Amino acid sequence: MSEGWPAFFSDNRLQLARRLALRREQTLWLCGGAIRDALLDRRPADLDLAADGDAAALAQDLAHELNGRYILLDPDHQSCRVVADGQAIDLTGLRAPTIEQDLVARDFTINAMAAPLDALLAGRPVLLDPTGGQADLRAGLLRPAGSGVLRADPLRVLRAGRLAAELGLSPAPGLPERLGRAASGLAQTPKERLAHEWLAMLEAADPNRGVNLLEQCGALGLLLPALEAGRGLGQNPFHHLDVFDHNLACLAAAQDIWRDPSPLFGAMAAETADYLTPPRRRALLFCAALLHDVGKSATRLETGPGWATFYRHDSVGAELAHAACQRLGLAKADSRFVARMTAMHMRPFHLLGAQNRGQLTARGARRLIQAVGDDLPGLFILAMADTVAGRGAQRPPDAEKRLTRLYGRVAHLRDSQLKAALAAPPLLDGRQLMAALGVGPGPEVGRLLALLREAQLDGAITNPYEALNLARRRMRRG
């Protein structure tokens, strides 16, 4: 075992748990992810204890001593959590007569290891590994701990994707087939559990690996039928993949950008790297990359051999992406973000067309900046991933360079002119406008205020007098 183990587990909470267990004549084992991470020479992020006897009573004692909070997670298995000072320890009663039998019933071999807490804290760790988890960890293999563990809890199918993404694991022989047989049970899994595993997978080191495992076993299509609908759906000569594979390739490209944005983004690389640093925002952008073209299956119109159009696939796709996120149990705000990025993913390409024709205007760039706000880097990351994932015969060979140039121009306008302009107060507020025009509240006032704001940002009006004259002219026109 690693020489770093004593340092990993020199935790006052564990010492206290051990003393309380001795007082109650109970035995404790450190289990699961903590053991796995320690074997990888990583400081464990989670502490998971198994206890013989009354785990719930022990957890309550621990919470009391730590001035923490006791949470009963699963009364059937005495699964509890103690939270103190922002840190958590999970305690669970044995689910079998012995610790070895308990471990065999866990999800995957790499999580089915334990160490008696007494020996561990004494600096003499003893590894209990009835399923060969240490060997699988060394070999980089993901293998179920027992024959029925996947069907016992179908969420473990999604967890397989998360563990593959987190640890760079490959499926053991036969695992995809076993995952596929258990995947139908995901439909009955509580959504909050789905959301936790899904987002943890997308926040991990290699989300693409996890998604590919879910696709390989058939679970991805069950979780996201709107994504599956693009399988085999041809596009046009700008693309070399069908819609389904293009969506997956877009996720892979977004992940590559996260790892190193410099080759594609040049001077804009620092801004894109900063945007992708928060794990949750990065995960949601990856989710948008995976779902960005789900609207194509509902909008495809074949116009000739090898040609199809997908008018309004962005807006239709936004609705489908939102529904897909809700299906996965994502929070409302997270679902709205994914839908919004899906709805807007074509807008950089519309501006790119104007740039290619020499017709890019400050007004067009400003409208994009106003619409997307602080997510401008995310939108261009999504557009770049979309570009990289489409390599058809008619795709311009310098497509990435053109897009980077556009991003630089739009960002320069944002930084040099627009930030100050957007921060400036409107020339007239709603009450002033209604008083000057002698009208009451209503949608027309809102439309006039939007018109005046647009004109102010364009520089067409510069003072309240000009703003009022413009509003009066528009009202006379009806």
CATH number at residue 36: 3.30.460.10
- Tell which of 223, 251, 272 closes a domain: 223
Domain contains 228? no
Q: What does the pLDDT read at residue 475? A: 85
Q: Which of 80, 44, 74 is nearest to 61 (CA)?
A: 80
How many Å apart are CA 363 and CA 360, to the nearest integer?
9
Three-class DSSP category at 345: coil
Task: Flag whether pLDDT at 252 surpasses 90.
Answer: yes
With residue 50 as reference, give the H or E element that holds it.
strand 47-51
On whether both 271 and 402 belong to a single domain, the answer is yes
On whether both 208 and 262 belong to a single domain, the answer is no
Range of the domain at 238: 233-423
On whether both 65 and 88 belong to a single domain, the answer is yes
Task: Flag whether pLDDT at 179 surpasses 90.
Answer: yes
Q: Higher-confidence residue: 10 or 253?
A: 253
Q: Look up residue 128 and give its DSSP letter.
A: B
**Following CA atoms 383, 389, 390, 391 in sequence, which dihedral angle do they give, to the nearest 10 degrees?**
130
% helix, strand, coil for the chain, step of 5:
65, 10, 30
On whether both 275 and 297 belong to a single domain, the answer is yes
pLDDT tier, 2 (very low <50, low <70, confident <90, very high otherwise): low
Q: Higher-confidence residue: 308 or 405?
A: 405
- Tell which of 394, 423, 452 closes a domain: 423
On whether both 152 and 139 belong to a single domain, the answer is no
Check if the beta carbon of residue 53 is closer than 8 Å to that of residue 99. no
pLDDT in tens, 335-360: 999 999 999 999 999 999 999 999 99
Q: What does the pLDDT read at residue 360? A: 92
How many Å apart are CA 422 and CA 420, to the nearest integer?
6
Residue 406: count of CB within 10 angstroms of its CB: 22
Domain contains 374? yes
- Tell which of 115, 144, 173 closes a domain: 144
On whether both 126 and 33 belong to a single domain, the answer is yes
Domain count, the chain: 4
On whether both 139 and 186 belong to a single domain, the answer is no
On whether both 253 and 350 belong to a single domain, the answer is yes
On whether both 179 and 327 belong to a single domain, the answer is no
Check if the beta carbon of residue 246 is closer than 8 Å to that of residue 293. yes
How wide is the angle at C-alpha 313 spanned by C-alphas 333 and 187, nearest 5°?
55
On whether both 12 and 111 belong to a single domain, the answer is yes
Q: Look up residue 414 and give its DSSP letter.
A: I
On whether both 379 and 266 belong to a single domain, the answer is yes
Residue 425: count of CB within 10 angstroms of its CB: 7
pLDDT in tens, 35-91: 999 999 888 878 999 999 999 999 999 999 999 999 999 888 789 999 998 889 999
Q: What does the pLDDT read at residue 3? A: 52
Task: Flag whether pLDDT at 420 surpasses 80.
Answer: no
Please tell me the pTM assigned to this model.
0.90
Q: Which of 472, 470, 450, 446 is nearest to 460 (CA)?
A: 470
Average pLDDT over the chain, rounded to whole? 93
Residues 411-417 have a mean pLDDT of 89
Task: Flag whether pLDDT at 291 surpasses 90.
Answer: yes
Structure tokens at 203: 């926040």
Task: Flag whether pLDDT at 6 surpasses 70.
Answer: no
Residues 17-22 have a mean pLDDT of 94
Q: Which of 399, 428, 431, 418 is nearest to 458 (CA)?
A: 418
Could you tell me whether strands 141-142 and 114-116 are parallel, antiparallel, or unpaired per DSSP bridges? unpaired
pLDDT tier, 238 (very low <50, low <70, confident <90, very high otherwise): confident
On whether both 62 and 182 belong to a single domain, the answer is no
How many Å apart are CA 318 and CA 150, to the nearest integer?
33
